Amino acid sequence: MNYTFHQLKIFLKVTQLKSITKAAEELHLTQPAVSIQLRNFQEQFEIPLTEVIGRQLYVTDFGTEIAKAAEKILDEVYAINYKTLAYKGQLAGRLKLSVVSTGKYIIPYFLSGFLKEHPGVELVLDVTNRSKVIESLENNEVDFSLVSVLPDQLQVERTELMPNKLYLIGYKEHELNNDAYDYNIFKELPLIYREPGSGTRQTMEKFIYKNLLPVRKKMELTSNEAVKQAVIAGLGFSIMPLIGIKNELINGELQIIKVEGFPIMSTWNLIWLKNKEFSPLADAYLNYLDQHKKQIISDKFSWYDEWGK
């Protein structure tokens, strides 16, 4: 056998994402390059590692075992690199975070300065829906998770980052009154929902039930981007986090519909398992946030309080 570190890395990413295209995107490679390396890796085994049925890629049982071994090998190689940097006095290691999908609009700003200060740190960032974020935290697969709705079933500790504001939004051609509407407006507007398991969906439904809003559910979509495009196209209205619609508001593709009692408020929290033993890297990142988060909010999110007034 003569497989390379590069092939192991590609194979592991393909098995994690179940997609050559997605693996290529995450690894910043072309799809043909990933396909060639995957084929070269497969040729060293007599038993299939993956199979394609229709257009879906599946990992065989044997492939799953090889992927586990590949992950252990890669972790050991990374550990050697980190120990070398640590011996030279540099902070090094892998910082692992899971982030709810809307959190992708804020978390980079709370990471960029830290990563620039410590070039030996490798970031592993998983952006997914809330249920998977909580699952990865519960399994202790990550150092921290970013959520706007705290989990009920886990004992966690947290540090607050910034407010999360949700507004009722509509497409640009929808005519509005200057005054704020009361809750009766929900009798007229078909609402577009996020999928179950979404933090936005949970916050939205909690508000609806608490205030007995007479909503009309129009459809259910699996991402904030899909919801935005549906609203822009005039397919319905939605309640969405302000943080994810800045560009669409500036471009006039979306508009905030003023309603009494809005915005719905929650808080972006970075959370971790209670009594978790931090690595020096994770501890350093928390200290960085404590020292810099107010300045980051002032520098990067000064626009946040201007919308929806």
Query: What is residue 90's predicted lDDT score, i.e. its pLDDT?
Result: 64
Q: Which residues of 107-125 are buried (b: 16+ CB within 10 A; e: fewer)?
A: bebbbeebbeebebbeeeb
Structural class in CATH, domain 5-74: mainly alpha
Structural class in CATH, domain 91-161+267-305: alpha beta
Query: What is residue 156's predicted lDDT score, i.e. its pLDDT?
Result: 93
Tell me how far apart the alpha carbons of residues 8 and 28 are, in angstroms, rounded to a whole number. Answer: 16
Tell me how far apart the alpha carbons of residues 49 and 72 are, in angstroms, rounded to a whole number. Answer: 17
Query: What is residue 169's predicted lDDT score, i.e. its pLDDT?
Result: 93
- Location of each CATH 3.40.190.10 domain in the chain: 91-161+267-305, 163-265
Task: Determine the angle formed by the axes of helices 5-17 and 31-42, rounding to 10 degrees.
Answer: 110
Query: What is residue 84's predicted lDDT score, i.e. its pLDDT?
Result: 66
Token pair 């990865």 is found at 136
Q: Which residues contact 121 (CB under 8 A, 6 or more apart)?
A: 91, 92, 93, 94, 95, 114, 115, 281
Note whether 154 and 273 are within 8 A (CB).
yes
CATH of domain 163-265: 3.40.190.10
Q: Which residues of 56-89 are buried (b: 16+ CB within 10 A; e: fewer)?
A: ebebeeebeebbeebeeeeeeeeeeebeebeeee
Query: What is residue 157's predicted lDDT score, i.e. its pLDDT?
Result: 94
Low-confidence ranges of the chain (pLDDT < 50): none
Please report, for residues 99, 101, 218, 273, 276, the alpha-carbon distance to residue 150 in angstroms, rounded to integers and kept in the order given: 13, 15, 28, 12, 17
Query: What is residue 85's predicted lDDT score, i.e. its pLDDT?
Result: 60
Look at the chain and count its residues: 309
User: What is the DSSP track for 131-155?
Assistant: HHHHHHHHTT--SEEEESS--SSS-
- Give the distance between the most distant pair of CA atoms in the chain: 72
Token pair 């904030």 is found at 224
List pLDDT tens digits, range 249-307. Answer: 999 999 999 998 899 999 999 999 998 888 888 888 999 999 999 999 999 998 887 77
| E strand or H helix at 169 | strand 156-171
- Location of each CATH 1.10.10.10 domain in the chain: 5-74
Tell me how far apart the alpha carbons of residues 233 and 20 are, in angstroms, rounded to a whole number. Answer: 31
Query: What is residue 242's predicted lDDT score, i.e. its pLDDT?
Result: 93
